[in-house]
Structure 1
């Protein structure tokens, strides 16, 4: 019985889009800012 030859797994191509952290910040930052600005002010 022949032993199969070792083959390197194919390298994953890096994503071309923005990273997950950048995408999360781009979505959440305006929402947090809007909440802070539109919050009713108490006297």
Structure 2
């Protein structure tokens, strides 16, 4: 019985583009900033 030939496991796939964390910050940061700036001031 012949043994199967050894193959290296595939390398880590490098994703191009924006990571989920960066995308989330990019979307939420301006909204949070706008709410902070535009909220009515209490006297």
The TM-score with structure 1 as length reference comes to 0.68
Whole-angstrom distance in 1 between the partners of 2:24 and 2:33: 14
Q: How many pairs does the alignment contain?
A: 43
- Deviating beyond 6 angstroms after TM superposition, the runs of 4 or more aligned structure 1 residues are 3-6
Corresponding position: 1:28 with 2:28: yes
Unpaired runs of 5+ in structure 1? none
Consecutive unaligned residues in structure 2, runs of 5 or more:
none
Query: RMSD in angstroms over aligned alpha carbons?
Result: 1.6
Which range is displaced more, 6-15 or 30-39?
A: 6-15
